[in-house]
Amino acid sequence: MSENYRIVLCDDHSVVREGLRNMIESEGGLKVVAECSNGVELLEYLRAEGADLVILDLSMPRFSGLELLDVLKPEFKNLKVLVLTMHKDRDYFQKAMNAGVDGYILKDDAFDDLMGAISSIRFGEQAYSADLQDRLDETVPENPEDPSLDILTRREAQILRMIASGKMNRDIGEVLGISVRTVEFHRANLMEKLRFRNATELVRFAVSRGIV
């Protein structure tokens, strides 16, 4: 095992990658050696440089994460793959497991579970979100008429409401008792789930839904 455990991030959202890099590199012995925004970049990097672990989103342009899994495990025999995704349903989970991934973590749980998952995978174990089974079994919607809101966790809905009311990340963190970095990560998940690219669109959405 190399002195630094070499990790590649593959997610098409730069804010998510930045948050992951900061979290991972705060731990000794771990090094993010590359960031890729799509599957083509990932394959090019791995074929040229190699890595120990890929942290892979399932929803990306060009190749989906599931399509990539069909290539990664057969071609890179010693590569470990940790899926980090917002997809909670059984179909995605089962397909990823069938493709031989070493772990499956929900983005909602990343700040609680990611570092432990990396450690487990590094030493030959598998890793999953602690409450993944509960999430898969959940029956949903508080508001079945608005599917856009159904995909938000309670914490994400709280943060959306605060963003829309004009609070800054630091203020939100103080109110909720979480770090600014955690707020930034939840904010990035909000943007990805709702397919928005800036805070103005988030605020407009919140106002239109009566969230503020």
Question: What percent of the chain has pLDDT above 70?
Answer: 87
Domains of the chain (ranges plus CATH)?
5-135 (3.40.50.2300), 147-208 (1.10.10.10)
- State the pLDDT confidence band at 140, using cuts at 50, 70 and 90: very low
Listed in sequence order, the residues at least 6 apart from 122 whose beta carbon sits closer than 8 Å to its beta carbon are 1, 5, 52, 53, 80
Residue indicated by tokens 């440089």: 49
Residue indicated by tokens 């079945």: 144
How far apart are the C-alpha atoms of 46 and 8, rounded to whole Å?
9
- Cβ–Cβ < 8 Å for 151, 209: no
pLDDT of residue 82: 96
- State the pLDDT confidence band at 147, using cuts at 50, 70 and 90: very low
87-111, pLDDT tens digit by residue? 888 788 878 888 889 989 998 888 8
24-54, pLDDT tens digit by residue? 998 889 999 999 999 999 999 999 999 999 9
How far apart are the C-alpha atoms of 153 and 190, rounded to whole Å?
9
pLDDT of residue 212: 57
